[in-house]
Amino acid sequence: MSSNAATSPTLELALDLIGRRSVTPEDAGCQPLMAERLAALGFTIEPMRFGEVDNLWARRGSEGPLFCFAGHTDVVPPGPLADWTSDPFQPEIRDGLLYGRGACDMKGSLAAMITATERFIAEQPEHQSSIAFLITSDEEGPSIDGTRRVIETLSARDERIDFALVGEPSSHQRLGDVIKNGRRGSLGGRLRIRGKQGHVAYPKLADNPVHRAAPALAELCGERWDEGNDHFPPTSFQISNIHAGTGADNVIPGELEVLFNLRYSTEQTPEAIQRRIHALLDRHGLDHQIDWRVSGHPFLTPAGALVEATQAAILAVTGEPTQLSTIGGTSDGRFIAPTGAQVVELGPINASIHKVDECVGVEELDQLSAIYSDILRRLLGDQ
């Protein structure tokens, strides 16, 4: 950290969190640090470890409504350290920006959540409502033993979240210009198309799966799946990897493997998409097999108490309006929304996430904390 940088409680906590090398699924002590702060506020602390994943469920209060801050302490690997201007796990402030892996995604948000909650409870220690934190170290990884398992545990004991704010970096050009009130579903496939291996000099004795599959793959890439709707863009199909052959240029491959993904709207279901793709491949006469993986269903939180409180808080703190969006990848909100909770995502500007020299604005962190506090006041505070 630069010596002339002014500090704030949010910045100090962000520095401490970023300095912990919590590459998925490691937590590296981030959750105990947060739990210590929350326990001091009267939260009941409940660590939940599933497999190699650390999770934290912390709750203050027993009455409804229950507002939950949700997030993750794990970060993606930094890549070659030589590519970074400074060590990704030794946070540094330069020109008003805090640099380090996780600064934006999403340790800055976690710090803002804690200080916002401390501020709100100091103002209204007897609030007639409940606040919770659902924190995992498995968001950037398989997302099997993280938020998904915690929600299953809570549901089994009839513990219901009413409002959930996920701290994913949602902003584009300025803090709060975009909040996510939904996400598209994600359907992935591993397609295997079988041919017959042979010598390239004798193509009639072989069956090249690359050649046979090319027209079908082109048709899939050009397919118009739907028109989307008022909340979601049209469903998209993308090929992410193609592999065939032995590595030799004189061998016709015997099998082609294609990895693909669809981000789909509420106009589609995984089953309908699967039927269309299988029918297309059959029409092209391909001997194929697909292993499917649904990593998230689409969800939407329409206008209501949480959306309205979030929009109003952003306007009050920044003086600027916000817009609703469902674009982007998946988030752990996909595990919370099916329980009936209202879910939004609000966090820092996302331009540097998963990149070398990831960073967040120092002033942005304090503004984010102020927005989070204002949301708590609007939803849970004394009227």
The dihedral region occupied by 333, where left means phi > 0, alpha psi between -120 and 50, and beta the remainder, is: alpha
User: What are the structure tokens assigned to 121, written together?
Assistant: 């409870």
Write out the DSSP string of 292-357: EEEEE--EE--SSHHHHHHHHHHHHHHS---EEE--SS--THHHHGGGT-EEEE--SB-TTTTSTT
Q: Which of 139, 140, 358, 374 is catalytic?
A: 139
The Cα 313–Cα 375 span in angstroms is 6
What's the CA gap between 381 and 243, in Å, rounded? 57
Active site residue 255: no
- Choosing from 27, 54, 74, 162, which is the catalytic residue? 74
Q: And the tokens for 189? A: 């496939």
Q: How far apart are CA 119 and CA 97, in angstroms?
A: 24
DSSP state of 235: P
Alpha-carbon Rg for the chain in angstroms:
24
CA 31, CA 13: separation in Å to the nearest integer?
A: 12
The SS3 assignment for 213 reads: helix
**255 DSSP β-pair partners:** 194
Q: How far apart are CA 367 and CA 365, in angstroms?
A: 5
**Backbone torsion region of residue 357, taken as left when φ is above 0, otherwise alpha when ψ lies between -120 and 50, otherwise beta:** left
Beta bridge partners of 72: 136
d(CA 36, CA 42) in angstroms, rounded, equals 10
Q: How far apart are the first and last CA of the chain?
A: 41
139 is catalytic: yes
By annotation, the residues acting in catalysis are 74, 139
